[in-house]
Amino acid sequence: MEKVQVKDAKGKLGVLVIGVGGAVATTFVAGTLIVRKGLGIPVGSVSQLATIRLGKRNENRFPKIKDVVPLADLNDIVFGGWDIFEDDAYAAARHAEVLSANDLDKVRDELQAIKPMKAVFDQNFVKRLHGTWVKSAPTKWDLMEAVRADIKKFKTDNNCDRMVCIWCGSTEVFTKISAVHETLPALEKAMKENSEEIAPSMVYAYACIAEGVAYINGAPNLTVDMPAMWDFSAQKQVPILGKDFKTGQTMLKTVLSPMLKTRMLGLSGWFSTNILGNRDGEVLDDPGSFKTKEESKLSVIDNILQPELYPELYGDVYHKVRINYYPPRKDNKEGWDNIDIFGWLGYPMELKVDFLCRDSILAAPLCLDLVLFTDLAQRAGMSGIQTWLSFYFKSPMHDNEHIAEHDLFIQNVKMKNTLRSIIGEETIDFMD
């Protein structure tokens, strides 16, 4: 198979994080700095720990992905970003209370050097937060130009060869797609007219694409999931991807749902509830932001189970999702699922799952993988929606001509086959 022409990963890779002072971002940044010093293991990172089978099974070639795929070196990453609070990354990480002070002190100087740029913030899109380190400008178009200036300055100041941007900020209120988001001229006009339908995340995304910077949407926000942004990314030859990091409860759904479907077991109802105490939990306590998250979480089961094909098994499923803000838990989220299933002759059974997880600990390795794989895609000339990275998202982006794939195992095959194609190896479309 012909190898894809991939530009060398030379020079510095600038990683700009939106919400760089949040729990997920500081855990990702600090963890990456700790790992590259050899002081920690990147558990959960496919790019760093997973192997990939090459050739026939009897050839026994199972190298680590990072040893055969031309990824950026962790030592070449330079971190920066924006936040609505002024704290440097060390102070923000201490406040988040995810990583221990002992771990954070291993990279204290590097974290203290990461000082956030002023953020684009609109209280109407995140009701529960009150930003104090924010940009002001006459219009959203002017804010976008200010973000472009930030990107250019960061690239120059840090001598970056290329850049990737990742949203690790809070969930914005639910935004329905409208005429404003359908075409690039309409989107640009709306930004210049300060339309209420233009969210801060869209301002960042437009600025990044305009500057040739790949954009990763880690929240369920609309952001780049619209025809205007698809057209813009194609025009600028920039990868875009999202949305909403697949970490705890939804990750389990993408594993358990295929099990039910594969065994042709029926499903009557699926009740999911979460308690979470970090900044994300506080934001999701607002009904508008929760609606955005709910849409992302609810789409998974229907997509996998295909009720239109199996009406007798999945045609009448009651699916409910709840998120409850509970400050004492901080970042240690609990996701509880009650699943009512039925088997032979319709006899009922139950499956209960209580996942006591750590939200940012699960999200951090996803951020690292997404940054490295997106940089790879950009160097390989892959632009537009990166469906091959759906593995990492609750609500994978897709255009109007395609259907999203939610099955974790199918997503994994697609991702590894894309990596095989990039390095000129045969894809594996059957099991031998």
Q: Which domain holds residue 20?
A: 12-245+361-422
2 is a domain residue = no
Q: Do residues 78 and 222 both lie within one domain?
A: yes
Strands 266-276 and 239-242: unpaired
Q: Do residues 325 and 179 both lie within one domain?
A: no
Contact of 48 with 77, CB cutoff 8 Å: no
Residues 367-380 pLDDT 10s: 999 999 999 999 99
The tokens describing 168, both together, are: 């690790």
Residue 420: the pLDDT is 97
SS3 417: helix
Cα distances (Å, whole numbers) of residue 264 to 259, 301, 344: 8, 14, 10
Q: Do residues 377 and 351 both lie within one domain?
A: no
The residue ranges of DSSP E strands in 278-422, in sequence order, are 318-325, 334-342, 348-356, 384-385
Q: Do residues 102 and 176 both lie within one domain?
A: yes
150 is a domain residue = yes
Return the minimum-mean-pLDDT range out of 140-144, 295-299, 359-363. Answer: 295-299
The last residue of one of the domains, among 356, 379, 403, is 356
396-413: average pLDDT: 89
Q: Do residues 226 and 305 both lie within one domain?
A: no
Q: Do residues 171 and 274 both lie within one domain?
A: no
If one compares 386 and 402, the residue with the highest pLDDT of the two is: 386
At residue 35 the predicted structure's pLDDT band, cuts being 50, 70 and 90, is very high
Burial of 151 (0-12, 13-18, 19+ CB in 10 A): buried
Q: Do residues 62 and 137 both lie within one domain?
A: yes
Q: Do residues 346 and 408 both lie within one domain?
A: no
Residue 258: the pLDDT is 93
344-371: average pLDDT: 96
Q: Which residues, at least 6 apart from 211, have a Cβ–Cβ distance to it below 8 Å? A: 148, 151, 152, 163
For 36, phi then psi, to 5°, come to -70, -15
Q: How far apart are CA 360 and CA 362, in angstroms?
A: 5
428 is a domain residue = no
338-358 CB burial, b ≥16 within 10 A, e <16: ebbbeeeeeeeeeeeeebebb
Q: Do residues 76 and 146 both lie within one domain?
A: yes
Number of domains making up the chain: 2
Residue 296: the pLDDT is 60
The last residue of one of the domains, among 356, 375, 409, is 356
195 is a domain residue = yes
42 is a domain residue = yes
**Alpha-helix runs per DSSP H in 46-199:** 46-49, 65-68, 89-96, 101-105, 108-112, 140-157, 184-192
73-78: average pLDDT: 98
Residues 167-222 pLDDT 10s: 999 989 988 899 999 999 999 999 999 999 999 999 999 999 999 999 999 999 99
DSSP label at 69? S
The gap from C-alpha 63 to its chain's centroid, in whole angstroms, comes to 26
Contact of 392 with 370, CB cutoff 8 Å: yes
The last residue of one of the domains, among 340, 356, 372, is 356
212 is a domain residue = yes
Q: How far apart are CA 50 and CA 55, in angstroms?
A: 17
Q: Do residues 350 and 387 both lie within one domain?
A: no
Return the minimum-mean-pLDDT range out of 101-115, 282-296, 326-340, 350-364. Answer: 282-296
For 225, phi then psi, to 5°, come to -90, 65
Q: What is the DSSP string of 350-390?
A: EEEEEEE--HHHHHHHHHHHHHHHHHHHHHTT--EE-GGGG
Q: Do residues 408 and 261 both lie within one domain?
A: no
258 is a domain residue = yes
429 is a domain residue = no
Q: Do residues 76 and 165 both lie within one domain?
A: yes
Amino acid 144 reads M
Res. 249: pLDDT tops 90: no
Residues 95-153 pLDDT 10s: 999 999 999 999 999 999 999 999 999 999 988 889 999 999 999 999 999 999 999 99
pTM listed for this prediction: 0.93
CATH number for position 44: 3.40.50.720
In the block, tokens 């690292």 appear at 368
Residue 284: the pLDDT is 65
CATH number for position 286: 3.30.360.10
Residue 289: the pLDDT is 67
At residue 330 the predicted structure's pLDDT band, cuts being 50, 70 and 90, is confident
Q: What's the N-to-C CA distance of the chain in angstroms?
A: 19
